[in-house]
Amino acid sequence: MKELKRYIGRGLDLRIDLKEWQDIGELPEFRDNPFLPIRSIPPEIKQFIDISDVSPNGVRIKAKNYVGILPLSEEIILTVNPKAPIEDFLYILYKAQGRSVSVKELKEIVHAGRRYARDYPNIFHFLIYVLLVELEKIRSFGLLKTSKFTVQNRVVKGKLLVKDTINSWLKGKTSTIIFGSFELSKDNPVNRAIKFTLRLLLSLYSQFLEEEIRDNFFEKYKWFESIPLGQGTEFVNDIEKIITHSSLPSSRSYYYDILNLCIFFITHSTLEYTSSKKVKVKSFVVDMNKVFEEYIYNILKENLKYPYKVKRYQKQPLFDNTLKYKIEPDYLILKNDKIKLIIDTKYKSGPITNDFYQILVYADRCNTTESMLIYPSWVGKTYIESFVFKNKKVKLLYYNMLNIEESERILISSIVGENAL
């Protein structure tokens, strides 16, 4: 516990909460002076935000398509929140990771979190509260214990291990008899993942949490105190498999929501983990451009039925005589194994001229006349615009991020037609 307490009390002078693509000047407290009192942004953070202006007063920043926690200096930390509702953000994130979830399930989790934390400054605060709520189920129903084979040479217990005993005798330990037995243990990848996450969040968020909530964290961390952390995050692959294959006992199904949240926090942190006694967090970033691309791909893969299917595009030379320039649209839609449509996702506020040129080059190279650009939209509806350039049709689908289920239906119908649904 001592190493965790080192992270408590790191006071920050300023915390800023923006939404995707929001300029700091839009915040009431920065309208008169939209400049942060710093001379520069750390190099590792610059790629995640835009510096829209510089003055003697400091720098003016604007969020991009990266959701996360970005330390701008020792005194200033920026949190960028998603524009989409929390349950939809989680749904898109989990779907992008190939997980089987529904908006309804996530709404129930979010509802539970809201009962616990009515006022929260940003999504990460909120998800921390949700995790605490979900962890209460462990108090009610117990820690997961798994069967573990242990070897003992002093206690007559379990099965006599003849081979191990003979090897011991050959080494001169003639008075030793070795026994082995299966015992239930709390030391397993599931509990290690939860302990690691609690430690990570305490190191990152303790300075923002109320004392009561911080004490709640420490209390829950103590439940896992006897479980070793190991030397890194080697347990992540095991957890991914457990979630994907639903391999936990039905009596411990409450662990899945906990593990989904743990994997979210672990996999999106830029983390230096050098030993079980030192965790240093640099930043915490979710690239929504990649998430959106993977999400759309998985929705297409799940919902397109024969004769339609989606395929990842293999990089090809843009020109036959060089490999320097390559085309790589996000995916191809095939009908009866022939290219019907090229799709490119663009997670940004709207189209620019280069987007059209790019998709037209893709269509020409793939010898198809139909293509689609998909953009997120927050105007309250999904809608489609169509353009024709030299006999090539380009559809712009504005994907309503405020009603994900409806948007998914419109996306599929725009490809296969209403009558095919």
In tens, the pLDDT along 250-265 reads 888 889 888 888 887 8
Residues 321, 380, single domain; the answer is: yes
Q: How far apart are CA 70 and CA 201, in angstroms?
A: 15
Instruction: Please say whether the dihedral angle defined by the alpha carbons of residues 242, 247, 252 and 257, taken in this order, is positive or negative.
Output: positive
Residues 70, 138, single domain; the answer is: yes
Asked if residue 292 belongs to a domain, the reply is no
Higher-confidence residue: 123 or 147? 123
CA quadruple 184, 185, 186, 187: dihedral, nearest 10: -150
Residues 34, 84, single domain; the answer is: yes
Residues 25, 139, single domain; the answer is: yes
The pTM assigned to this predicted structure is 0.72
Instruction: Please work out, in degrees rounded to the nearest 5, the angle formed at the alpha carbon of residue 172 by the alpha carbons of 169 and 174.
Output: 50
Residues 11, 97, single domain; the answer is: yes
Percent of all residues in the chain with a pLDDT value above 90, rounded to a whole number = 27
Q: How far apart are CA 279 and CA 196, in angstroms?
A: 10
Residue 203 confidence (pLDDT): 74
pLDDT at 364 over 80: yes
pLDDT at 146 over 80: no
Among the candidates 159, 185, 211, a domain finishes at 185
Residue 147 confidence (pLDDT): 59
Residues 346, 382, single domain; the answer is: yes
Spell 302-341 as b/e; 16+ CB within 10 A means b.
Answer: ebbeeebebeebeeeeeeeeeeeeebebbbbbbeeeebbb
Residue 372 confidence (pLDDT): 94
Asked if residue 60 belongs to a domain, the reply is yes
Q: How far apart are CA 113 and CA 129, in angstroms?
A: 6
Q: How far apart are CA 43 and CA 68, in angstroms?
A: 16
- Tens digits of per-residue pLDDT, 335-349? 999 999 999 999 987
Residue 266 confidence (pLDDT): 78
Asked if residue 136 belongs to a domain, the reply is yes
Count structural domains, the chain. 3
pLDDT at 377 over 90: yes
Residues 264, 335, single domain; the answer is: no
Residues 276, 178, single domain; the answer is: no
DSSP 23: B
Please, which pLDDT band fits residue 296 given cuts at 50, 70 and 90? very high
15 to 107, 122, 364: CA distances (angstroms)? 28, 11, 49
Q: By C-alpha distance, which of 151, 181, 147, 155 is closest to 164?
A: 151
φ/ψ region of 81 (left if φ > 0, alpha if ψ in -120 to 50, else beta) reads: beta
| Coil, strand or helix at 105 | helix
Q: How far apart are CA 107 and CA 130, in angstroms?
A: 12
Mean pLDDT in residue range 269-280: 43
